[in-house]
Structure 1
Amino acid sequence: MTDDRGRLLAGRYRLAALLGQGGMGTVWRAHDEQLDREVALKELRLPEGLDAAGQQAWIARLDREARAAARPKHPGVITVHDRIADEDGRPWIVMELVRGRSLDDLVKEDGPLPPARVALIGRQVLDALRAVHATGVVHRDIKPANVLLEGDRVVLTDFGIASVEGEPGLTRSGALMGTPVYMSPEQMRGLPATAESDLWSLGATLYTAVEGHPPFNGSGSWAVFVAVATEDPVPAVRAGELGPVLTGLLRKDPAQRLTAEEAYELLAGPAGGAGPSRPAAAGSGTLRLAEAVPPAAGPAAAPDPGPGPGPGRTRAGARGRYVLGGLAAAVAVLVAVPWGLPDSGASDDAGPTRSAGALAPTGPS
């Protein structure tokens, strides 16, 4: 790989150090010589052998990432400053430089986190997700590596495979995008990702942070697919008061999952009542911790009397378990649906790259 340190882009951004790289891009720390500040620059990496149409598809993907991250105005979402092009016409995204580790780095280096800290992180991510979803964006890749920690601030980053309302998709219909252990059951079935899918992924992320490992295990992607689609999460042993929140977010039926408002309120207990202040959402209510425990299994289980639906969300009348048709049906779906099959040579799950300056490099999913 060419050493581009010292290279000047757009007459103002001088590359200083490589921060990380993945399947879609390379992230650099750079100095903005006009404003005298440090920024993060994400460079598009084009696979070899692409024709002109394939190159344009990849460029469109990076442009969509920039627009998706720029839509929300929230301190918990990475700030996009600009989109520039180099002398070859390849686009770069200019973002704020976040100085800190990812949640993934923190858990790998320090081990499982205390439930109170995980609850605080979860509340901040939920607050950011509310802002993201309100703008018509679904992140689709919530995972510990895409949650950055800068002091007490929590930053959601890497919108590389986000879907944006009103914009055409850039991946062939039926393709699976994301990191298997953090993908929701409906994504496994090839259905479109929704705000509820992001909440599932957040539940898996918080589970990983407090337990030290993901909620579903498998010797490979296929085993993980089957586990997510048909099995219950590995029982949590460290979660404590977080247990009901994790259970509520990891319900297989998206209509039965906790809403962002319900999860936010439930996390107040483990977090000691602390968290970012925000106005209450219209139609949301306070849910007691005990109400997050799912009803007992059985044919006569009573419907959950939880609060009314949150914004843009319709709850199913019955709150029964979501049946995916058993192991055989799940495997049949996985055989029928290709994972990450691209249009024009590009794939929405081409390997998420950390899109801000956390100081440890990251690899592809």
Structure 2
Amino acid sequence: MLAGRYRRLGRIGQGGMGVVWRAYDTDLEREVAIKELRVPEQVTEQERRVWYARMQREARAAARLRHPGIVTVYDRVMGEDGRPWIVMELIHGQSLEHLLTEQEALPEQQIAAIGLAMLEALSAAHSHRIVHRDVKPANVLLEGDRIVLTDFGIAAVEGDATLTRPGTVLGTPAYMSPEQIAGQTVTPASDLWSLAATLYAAVEGRPPFTALTHGALFIAIATQDPAPPKCGGPLAQVLNGLLRKDPANRLSVTQIRDLLTTVTGPGTKPDTQSCRSVDQQSATRTDTLSYTDDLTLPDDKGRSQPARAAEELPVEQEAVAIYRRLAEADPDRY
């Protein structure tokens, strides 16, 4: 029994640092979801305090937001061992990630509807000066017609003291923006990139960038363009307009809303003619690197040399270092 009132009934899901349980609130006689923080035993006491503080920040950030597209936080309680737990509404549905494992790709109208709901939820968070920083299919829950954004565990809250060391990379690599992987300041535009990456996965059945290692993935995000999406029209305009390297060049919320509404609006039918097979997508930009091209980086004397192996540096340090070297060598491009 947690905090003398929450009885765990069963595990809903598990991530890298936490577990979400279905539980019963014996005081209010209702089912809830509770999030348990699990910190590896080998971390230092200082690191442990940072993770506890981040969990508390998640509760505060989500509790500020009252929006049907954002999971409602009811309470934050402390366990007997001093760990914080978050009590929130129980969503009776599945994640977009789980749905994509079953269907691989979704119809355009459904994708646009999901995109609109996520856009409104993110706009609500941004209006409270909260940047989510981890928008991805696993954090989008589907409950009937309701679409809910969850997990503000690494959200950046304006006015709160930072919990992240300079240069540290937080987020899920495949859905992170170029500025995120470079360890730069995140903004609402960073969440919009991740929104587009999530919708791209719903169109293609995979994220816009894939690679065998995190380092290679970060380089791809920083230096390459994604393959053109299978479906054209307004939905493709949203994807292409948000997956731009420079945050200042990404579409505005109003532009995104207008384009997605064109797809979901009354009388709109799925544009089956705009959906192309993989074989028909061979026409890609020739001025960007393919996923399998070997990268060469300039050394201190300007000579080309192969990129360092991923094992030589921690993932985040390697990717940030490579990105910065690329930017120094060709600032106009990066």
- The answer to whether the 8 Å contact 1:196/1:257 transfers is yes
Aligned-pair CA distance for 1:338: 5.7
Please tell me the residue identity of whatever aligns with 1:150: E
Q: Which residue of 2 aligns with 1:260?
A: 253
Q: Which residue of 2 aligns with 1:179?
A: 172
Answering whether residue 200 of structure 2 is matched by residue 207 of structure 1, we say yes
- The answer to whether the 8 Å contact 1:210/1:239 transfers is no
- The answer to whether the 8 Å contact 2:234/2:259 transfers is no
CA separation of 1:68/1:340 partners in 2, compared to 1, >3 Å: closer, same or farther? farther
Give the whole-Å Cα distance in 1 for the aligned partners of 2:297 and 2:130. Answer: 33
Higher RCO (Cα < 8 Å, 6 or more apart): 1
Q: Which residue of 1 aligns with 2:70?
A: 77
Q: Which residue of 2 aligns with 1:151?
A: 144
Aligned-pair CA distance for 1:23: 2.2
- The answer to whether the 8 Å contact 2:115/2:199 transfers is yes
Q: Which residue of 2 aligns with 1:93?
A: 86
Answering whether residue 237 of structure 2 is matched by residue 244 of structure 1, we say yes
Q: Which has the higher helix share?
A: 2
Compute the TM-score of the two structures, normalised by the length of structure 2: 0.79
CA separation of 1:233/1:70 partners in 2, compared to 1, >3 Å: closer, same or farther? same
The share of aligned pairs that are identical, in percent, is 55
Please tell me the residue identity of whatever aligns with 2:297: A
Q: 2:48 aligns with which of 51, 55, 62?
A: 55
> Residue deviations 1:216-259, cap 9 Å, x none?
12222122111111111111113543111111111111001001
Q: 2:297 aligns with which of 316, 321, 328?
A: 328
CA separation of 1:127/1:72 partners in 2, compared to 1, >3 Å: closer, same or farther? same
Alignment of 1:1-365 (within 5 A): 8-273=1-266, 328=297, 339=315
> Residue deviations 1:21-42, cap 9 Å, x none?
2222111100011111110001
The residue matched to 2:166 in structure 1 has which SS? coil
Please tell me the residue identity of whatever aligns with 2:126: H
The residue matched to 2:52 in structure 1 has which SS? helix
| Structure 1 gaps, min length 5 | 1-7, 275-296, 298-325, 342-365
- The answer to whether the 8 Å contact 1:107/1:209 transfers is yes
Give the whole-Å Cα distance in 1 for the aligned partners of 2:71 and 2:111. Answer: 20
CA separation of 1:225/1:327 partners in 2, compared to 1, >3 Å: closer, same or farther? farther
The residue matched to 2:247 in structure 1 has which SS? coil
CA separation of 1:240/1:247 partners in 2, compared to 1, >3 Å: closer, same or farther? same
CA separation of 1:167/1:327 partners in 2, compared to 1, >3 Å: closer, same or farther? farther
- The answer to whether the 8 Å contact 1:226/1:327 transfers is no
Q: Which residue of 2 aligns with 1:289?
A: none
Give the whole-Å Cα distance in 2 for the aligned partners of 1:169 and 1:177. Answer: 12
- The answer to whether the 8 Å contact 2:67/2:121 transfers is yes
The residue matched to 2:196 in structure 1 has which SS? helix
The residue matched to 1:20 in structure 2 has which SS? strand
- The answer to whether the 8 Å contact 1:115/1:239 transfers is no
Give the whole-Å Cα distance in 2 for the aligned partners of 1:234 and 1:174. Answer: 29
Give the whole-Å Cα distance in 2 for the aligned partners of 1:240 and 1:54. Answer: 47
CA separation of 1:269/1:35 partners in 2, compared to 1, >3 Å: closer, same or farther? same
CA separation of 1:174/1:206 partners in 2, compared to 1, >3 Å: closer, same or farther? same
CA separation of 1:81/1:66 partners in 2, compared to 1, >3 Å: closer, same or farther? same
Aligned-pair CA distance for 1:327: 6.6
- The answer to whether the 8 Å contact 1:177/1:340 transfers is no
Give the whole-Å Cα distance in 2 for the aligned partners of 1:271 and 1:96. Answer: 28
Q: CA RMSD in A?
A: 2.4
| Structure 2 gaps, min length 5 | 268-284, 286-294, 299-306, 318-334
- Which consecutive aligned stretches of 4+ in structure 1 deviate over 4 angstroms post-superposition? 334-341
- The answer to whether the 8 Å contact 2:215/2:315 transfers is no
> Residue deviations 1:44-102, cap 9 Å, x none?
11211344333322211110111111111111011000000122221110000011111
CA separation of 1:336/1:61 partners in 2, compared to 1, >3 Å: closer, same or farther? farther
- The answer to whether the 8 Å contact 2:114/2:147 transfers is yes
Q: How many residues matched?
A: 283
